[in-house]
Amino acid sequence: MVEIMSITRSDLLFDQQHIWHPYGSMINPSPCYPVEAASGVKLYLTNGQSLIDGMSSWWAVIHGYNHPYLNASITQQLKKMSHVMFGGITHSAAIALCRKLIEVTPEALQCVFLADSGSVAIEVALKMAFQYWQSIGKIKKKILTLSYGYHGDTFGAVSVCDPNNSMHHLYQKFFISHLFSPTPQCRFNEEWNEKDIIPFSTLLEKNANNIAAVLLEPIVQGAGGMRIYHPTYLKRIRELCNVYDILLIVDEIATGFGRTGKYFAYEHAKIVPDILCLGKALTGGYMTLSATLTRRHIADTISNGEASCFMHGPTFMGNPLACAVAEANLFLLEQNNWKTQVKAIELHLKQQLLPLIKLPSVADVRILGAIGVIEMHNLVNVVQLQRKFIKYGVWLRPFRNLIYLMPPYIIDLKSLNKLTEAVISILS
């Protein structure tokens, strides 16, 4: 058995010289903090320091780290098999997970496609939309989406990210250009203004014959700027898609499984999508896995088309370990009474963070469910700010002009208070 050794200075130097980290530079890499272990809501560094995680490891670890129930689900599955190809084979872990996903989503969503990651779920959804129209003899090449949207890092997903205001603007000249409506202006708790939907409605009406699908993040736009918009905007989009017979793809990868105070964020608008993309918290942050759900008539239309099947099949599709822990994660979500957990986090974030709007450096404060966002007037120095957070014993990773918190649902009040106190102290 290979023994896992502590990280040495030599290891860190090797990491710096040879390992590419997310959105990182090999010439001028940002500092990386070596984590030895993780448990509950804490990350343990090799120097003995512990940090309270306010990021849920990019919004995925909703039940905390090293959870005994989730550990057991993987261990039990590992004794049977870690992986088996999904082509021509099925297994109980995938069946149990898909049965649960159909149970927790609207009745109209009956067909589940399992894949590797959130970005791939978006790729699958886009291909479903294009192949659906092709199967009924129509070629529609455009996706209508929102400015400041973010849907992942793979090629198709990048093509539907904002071409001007996202981290992917460098690649836009390589894509078919899609359609981008101005981002919604009505905030979540403000009075709805019907004028907010006019730019989207105008763009949709003008291009309806060539639009395969509308794609958006429901209620909360994530990495594109952490904007939180009015549920009626999403409701109007569903109505417009119905009028013009256009598919609606909802990207719940970041918002799904309770993060906004609803099981899925689209529930705030009481709508049902045609295609639903899930990821991140699907496995409780244990393993990479995504699911794309669609309506029966879409799946049947694709299956009756030229190819007689849906043309996608990842090598690790339906991975038994990932499916097993995902099914256990959804069970744990219910057992832990996630609504109460998320509501408690929301209440604390509002009490502690909303007063920061009075600071001259702060442009806005936005809170919904277990999401807290502080928008600064100016870009922040991420490296410098993160170093300060670590001195306070917390792990937060700002980006651009945003400092945000998305803690695990299981976080206790003392730990949550330490997170907000760190933000308040550093900004004040």
**CATH (residue range 9-63+337-427):** 3.90.1150.10
Question: Structurally, what CATH architecture does the domain formed by 70-335 represent?
Answer: 3-Layer(aba) Sandwich (3.40)
b/e code 228-237 from CB counts within 10 Å (16+ = b) = bbbbbbbbbb
Q: What is the C-alpha to C-alpha distance for residues 20 and 29, in angstroms, rounded to an integer?
A: 8
User: Angle at Cα 424 formed by Cα 281 and Cα 252, nearest 5°?
Assistant: 20
Q: What is the C-alpha to C-alpha distance for residues 63 and 40, in angstroms, rounded to an integer?
A: 8
Compute and round to an integer the Cα radius of gyration of the chain.
22
Q: What is the C-alpha to C-alpha distance for residues 63 and 65, in angstroms, rounded to an integer?
A: 7
Bridge partners of residue 249, in order along the sequence? 215, 275
Q: Of the listed 251, 263, 404, 418, which one is catalytic?
A: 251
Q: What is the C-alpha to C-alpha distance for residues 317 and 121, in angstroms, rounded to an integer?
A: 11
Answer for the pair 271, 234: CB distance below 8 angstroms, yes or no: yes
What single string gives the DSSP state of each residue in 302-354? HHTSTTSS-S---TTTT-HHHHHHHHHHHHHHHHTTHHHHHHHHHHHHHHHHG
Q: What is the C-alpha to C-alpha distance for residues 269 and 267, in angstroms, rounded to an integer?
A: 5
Considering only CA atoms, which of 71, 63, 70 is closest in space to residue 41? 63
For the question of residue 65 being annotated catalytic, the response is no
Answer for the pair 290, 266: CB distance below 8 angstroms, yes or no: no
Torsion sign, CA atoms 190, 194, 195, 199: positive
SS3 sequence of 98-114: HHHHHHHCCCCEEEEEE
Q: Of the listed 23, 173, 245, 358, which one is catalytic?
A: 23
For the question of residue 15 being annotated catalytic, the response is no
Tens digit of pLDDT per residue, the chain (428 long)?
A: 344 458 899 999 999 999 999 988 999 999 999 999 999 999 999 999 999 999 999 999 999 999 999 999 999 999 999 999 999 999 999 999 999 999 999 999 999 999 999 999 999 999 999 999 999 999 999 999 999 999 988 888 888 888 876 666 677 778 778 999 999 999 999 999 999 999 999 999 999 999 999 999 999 999 889 999 999 999 999 999 999 999 999 999 999 999 999 999 999 999 999 999 999 999 999 999 999 999 999 999 999 988 899 989 999 999 999 999 999 999 999 999 999 999 999 999 999 999 999 999 999 999 999 999 999 999 999 999 999 999 999 999 999 999 999 999 999 999 999 999 999 999 99
For the question of residue 23 being annotated catalytic, the response is yes
Q: Of the listed 140, 262, 266, 280, which one is catalytic?
A: 280
The full set of domain ranges for the chain reads 9-63+337-427, 70-335
Answer for the pair 211, 200: CB distance below 8 angstroms, yes or no: no
> Which residue type sits at 230?
H
Q: Of the listed 150, 229, 263, 409, which one is catalytic?
A: 150
